[in-house]
Amino acid sequence: MARIDLDLAHSYLPDPQQDADYALLPLQMSFEDGGAYALLGPSGCGKTTMLNIMSGLLAPSRGSVKFDGEDVTQRSPQQRNIAQVFQFPVIYDTMTVADNLAFPLRNRRMPEAQIRKRVGEIAEMLELSGQLNRRAADLAADAKQKISLGRGLVRPDVSAVLFDEPLTVIDPHLKWQLRRKLKQIHHELKLTLIYVTHDQVEALTFADQVMVMTRGQAVQVGSADALFERPQHTFVGHFIGSPGMNFLPARTVGGKLEVAGRTLALPPNLGLPDGELKLGIRPEYVALTTADDTAALPVTVVQALDIGTHVLLTGQCAGSDLKIKARLSPELAAPQRGDTVWLRVLEAHTCFYKNEELIP
Amino acid sequence: MSTIKPVNQKAWWLVLPVVVCVAFSAVLPLMTVVNYSLQDIISPERRVFVGTEWFAAAMRDEELHSALWRQLTFSLAVLTVEIPLGIMLALSMPAKGWKASAVLVVVALSLLIPWNVVGTIWQIFGRADIGLLGAMLQKMGFDYNYTGNATHAWLTVLVMDVWHWTPLVALLCYAGLRSIPDAYYQAARIDGASRFAVFRYIQLPKMRGVLMIAVLLRFMDSFMIYTEPFVLTGGGPGNATTFLSEYLTQKAVGQFDVGPAAAFSLIYFLIILLLCFILYNWMQRVGTADKEGAGHE
């Protein structure tokens, strides 16, 4: 078990010139010992690169990786004693489940009696005990993925377990089970777990801390709550939530806010700088109101979808092509297409962004 | 509601083209051979039905026995040399870039040469007076002479076959190796597997399919080898390199013993079929057998 500190940058090109040449832009990041982390981001954002650098499959082109303060940048995955679970289950076809689980220990020349004990324990934990003598190749995808995981967990002194989208090939109903298993293992073994995914539900339910990445950059690290309530970057606002945050271009002039041709009264002591900025509000916090509300915009309803738990309303701001999405309670009378309604966009949860970054 | 399908015998007509094709390409030629094998044809007008006499004769034919043993030894030697060599070659070939393409072309080169040309190349190559190989070995003090020394002739045929066909095994293995996803190698590094363990537990099992094809192809081809030794040694010296096809041709074309030759053709065919069947089944089982009760020993 170890605390992992990263201070590095990586490019797959020999001589990177600009930001776009980097798979990972210079970043500093620490993963606390025993924490459950998720790296969340769209495909190609650098999350797998980061994982491979941590496990030692890839050497960063600049900077260092430290485990418990010790520089391990040049060490092999085996020396780092890290476990990694891949997107597709990797099993040794010709071996039984037991031999698969014992493989990393045999490579480390652990005494056979100890190996047997350890394999038994891990199989028990992963509910593989009944299949120990079966050929691993004959099992279903979820069992194979459990074996891959087991090969990581079987080493008693493993520094951290890294997951690279491990549930991609698993059936939906088993996904849930396996995820619960992971949480349970985290709880029991107090291991550092780092989980790469592009699925926000997976990331938010699994991890204590989620790191949101885009284009080789970590834009925010925080709890599910922080990512939802106070996105540090407009990308996080877009990416987290379904649908994502509404962003409306706005301008502040002398304590007043101009949005879509209307002037809204800003609450005092907000301390916003004058000039161009973006107003961000979650669809969950947009509320129906009346025309005399000074924090509201008039919109024409383009679509009102009843999704059972709520009504998803899409409205177009009067006099512009700005769209606003709102999640409304199904108990209210849903507005019809073409109606004009007033939506309140300024309230406690509203965030303001300048150059895509949150104004604190 | 019953869902019994209506029986329509007209569907048989759809199978007819296949039946005709197979009949003309396989069944009829085979049947003519069966026909010859049961008769003693003295002249086109005089033929006598002899039953299984030719088969019995073939079974007793000492010369044929030694040709069969020679053949089995040769095929076994071909497999034991070419399969490991092909695997090693494939493992050492570069995976990508222009080097991979260049190496592939060079490796595949010998496969593009016609059989009789291969024989001719080696015939000249091995000549003790002017051949590069033969003259060089002479200079180095080996009294190498494939036309006079039976062992030398046999070894030359083997080396020639290895030179000609190992690239096929290598290319098949190379294709098998390239289809292994990177994650396997990464997982192996994380599990701390040695280079040998990677080969034994990842590369070899993943090459199973292509290796099976390689073994069967090389076995069948080497068991039927004819042109190259015919051009190189003509089956000699003595009978040292007279393999089954060679012997059969001498019988059928040289001496025009159509009956015995036909009987032996059928036996030859059955031997290949049987050995391929055994090989195939054996390879199917290797590595897939459920290790019930083997436990974690």
pLDDT attached to residue B296: 36
| % of chain B surpassing 70 pLDDT | 95
B293 and chain A: CB distance < 8 Å anywhere? yes
- pLDDT grade, residue B295 (50/70/90)? very low
List, in order, residues 6 or more apart from A197 with CB less than 8 Å away: A38, A39, A40, A163, A165, A167, A203, A206
In a domain, B202, yes or no: yes
User: Do residues A210 and A254 both lie within one domain?
Assistant: no
d(CA B227, CA B117): 9
Give every strand in the sheet of A340-344, ordered side by side. A287-289, A340-344, A296-306, A311-317, A323-328
- pLDDT grade, residue B106 (50/70/90)? very high
| % of chain A surpassing 90 pLDDT | 1
pLDDT attached to residue A294: 78
Continuous H helices in chain A: 47-55, 77-80, 97-107, 112-125, 141-153, 172-189, 200-206, 224-229, 234-239
d(CA A316, CA A66): 51
Tell me if A87 and B189 make a contact (CB, 8 A cut-off). Answer: no
Q: Which of B186, B189, B190 to probe the A interface (max A CBs under 10 A)?
A: B190
CB contact at 8 A, A151 and A119: no
CB contact at 8 A, A335 and A307: no
Conformation bin of residue A289: beta by default, left when phi > 0, alpha when psi is -120 to 50: beta
B186 and chain A: CB distance < 8 Å anywhere? yes
User: Do residues A184 and A259 both lie within one domain?
Assistant: no
| ipTM > 0.95 (yes/no) | no
Q: Which of A92, A131, A139 to probe the B interface (max B CBs under 10 A)?
A: A92
Which structural domain range is residue B92 located in? 70-285
Distances (CA, A) of B271 to A78, B76, B226: 51, 15, 17
Indicate whether B199 pLDDT > 90.
yes
DSSP for residue A129: G
Q: Which residues of B touch A93 (CB under 8 A)?
A: 205-206, 287
**Helix A97-107 vs helix A141-153: angle between axes, to the nearest 10 degrees?**
30
pLDDT per residue as tens digits for the range B11-61:
888 999 999 999 989 889 888 888 888 888 777 788 888 888 888 888 888
User: Do residues A294 and A194 both lie within one domain?
Assistant: no
Instruction: Please name the residues between 85 and 104 in chain A that touch chain B, using a CB distance below 8 Å.
Output: 86-88, 90, 92-96, 98-99, 102-104
A38 sits in which H/E element? strand A36-40
In a domain, B267, yes or no: yes
* Number of CB atoms found within 10 A of residue B35's CB: 12
User: Do residues A220 and A120 both lie within one domain?
Assistant: yes
- pLDDT grade, residue B288 (50/70/90)? low
Give the domain CATH number at B107: 1.10.3720.10
Q: Pick the range with the lowest mean pLDDT from A38-42, A282-286, B252-256.
A: B252-256
For residue B16, give how far its alpha carbon lies from the nearest alpha carbon of chain A (Å): 40
**Which of B190, B193, B295 lies closest to A82 in CB terms?**
B190
Tell me if B183 and A83 make a contact (CB, 8 A cut-off). Answer: no
A55 and chain B: CB distance < 8 Å anywhere? yes
d(CA B222, CA A47): 52
Instruction: Please name the residues between 2 and 21 in chain A that touch chain B, using a CB distance below 8 Å.
Output: none
Most confident of A140-144, A287-291, B148-152, B155-159: B155-159
Give the domain CATH number at A306: 2.40.50.140
In a domain, B30, yes or no: no
pLDDT per residue as tens digits for the range B177-189:
999 988 899 899 8
pLDDT attached to residue A65: 86
Establish, for the pair of chains A and B, how many residue pairs have beta carbons separated by less than 8 Å. Answer: 80
Tell me if B201 and A88 make a contact (CB, 8 A cut-off). Answer: no
User: Do residues A212 and A316 both lie within one domain?
Assistant: no
Q: Which residues of A touch B283 (CB under 8 A)?
A: none
Which structural domain range is residue A304 located in? 243-358
d(CA B140, CA B142): 6
DSSP for residue A266: P
Nearest CA-CA partner of B183 in A145, A176, A212: A145
pLDDT per residue as tens digits for the range A68-115:
888 888 888 888 888 888 888 889 988 889 999 999 899 888 898 989
In a domain, B113, yes or no: yes
User: Do residues A12 and A153 both lie within one domain?
Assistant: yes
Total domains present in chain B: 1
User: Do residues A233 and A296 both lie within one domain?
Assistant: no
**Coil, strand, or helix at residue A154?**
coil
d(CA A144, CA A138): 9
User: Do residues A210 and A289 both lie within one domain?
Assistant: no
CB contact at 8 A, B64 and B264: yes
**Which of A77, A93, A107 lies closest to B205 in CB terms?**
A93
User: Do residues A132 and A247 both lie within one domain?
Assistant: no
* Number of CB atoms found within 10 A of residue A1's CB: 15
Q: Which residues of A touch B179 (CB under 8 A)?
A: none
Total domains present in chain A: 2
Q: Which residues of B touch A90 (CB under 8 A)?
A: 183-184, 186-187
Q: Which pairs count as long-range contacts for B215-218, CB under 8 Å and 24+ apart, including other chains?
A: B215/B79, B215/B83, B215/B279, B215/B283, B216/B276, B216/B279, B216/B280, B217/B168, B218/B78, B218/B79, B218/B82, B218/B83, B218/B165, B218/B168, B218/B169
Residue of chain A with shortest Cα separation from B206? A93
For residue A66, give how far its alpha carbon lies from the nearest alpha carbon of chain B (Å): 18
pLDDT per residue as tens digits for the range A181-237:
888 888 888 888 888 888 888 888 888 888 888 888 888 888 888 888 888 888 888
pLDDT per residue as tens digits for the range A123-147:
888 888 888 888 888 888 888 888 9
In a domain, B96, yes or no: yes
**Which of A83, A92, A134 lies closest to B190 in CB terms?**
A83
Nearest CA-CA partner of B225 in B37, B85, B70: B70
**Which of B190, B206, B288 lies closest to A77 in CB terms?**
B190
For residue A97, give how far its alpha carbon lies from the nearest alpha carbon of chain B (Å): 9
* Number of CB atoms found within 10 A of residue B113's CB: 14
Q: Pick the range with the lowest mean pLDDT from B5-9, B265-269, B279-283.
A: B5-9
Got the DSSP string for chain B? ---PPPP-GGGHHHHHHHHHHHIIIIIHHHHHHHHHHTEEEEETTEEEE-TTHHHHHHHH-HHHHHHHHHHHHHHHHHHHHHHHHHHHHHHHS--SSHHHHHHHHHHHGGGGS-HHHHHHHHHHHT-TTT-HHHHHHHHTT----TTT-HHHHHHHHHHHHHHHHHHHHHHHHHHHHHTS-HHHHHHHHHTT--HHHHIIIIIHHHTHHHHHHHHHHHHHHHHT--HHHHHHTTT-STTTT--HHHHHHIIIIIS--HHHHHHHHHHHHHHHHHHHHHHHHHHHHTTTS--TTT---
Nearest CA-CA partner of A146 in A154, B134, A105: A154
Tell me if B187 and A151 make a contact (CB, 8 A cut-off). Answer: yes
In a domain, B34, yes or no: no
B187 and chain A: CB distance < 8 Å anywhere? yes
Give the residue-averaged pLDDT of A169-173.
80
Tell me if A116 and B296 make a contact (CB, 8 A cut-off). Answer: yes
Most confident of A98-107, A159-168, A319-328, A346-355: A98-107
Instruction: Please name the residues between 188 and 247 in chain A that touch chain B, using a CB distance below 8 Å.
Output: none
Give the domain CATH number at A54: 3.40.50.300
Exposed, middle or buried by CB within 10 Å (0-12, 13-18, 19+), for A239? buried
Give the residue-averaged pLDDT of B257-277.
87
pLDDT per residue as tens digits for the range A20-38:
788 888 888 888 888 888 8
* Number of CB atoms found within 10 A of residue A13's CB: 11
Residue B223 tokens, joined:
């068991």
In a domain, B37, yes or no: no
A192 sits in which H/E element? strand A192-197
Tell me if B187 and A57 make a contact (CB, 8 A cut-off). Answer: no
Q: Which residues of A touch B205 (CB under 8 A)?
A: 92-94
- pLDDT grade, residue B170 (50/70/90)? very high
Give the residue-averaged pLDDT of B206-211.
89
For residue B195, give how far its alpha carbon lies from the nearest alpha carbon of chain A (Å): 11
Residue A346 tokens, joined:
């300024």
B288 and chain A: CB distance < 8 Å anywhere? yes
Indicate whether B287 pLDDT > 70.
no
Tell me if B192 and A138 make a contact (CB, 8 A cut-off). Answer: no
DSSP for residue A96: B
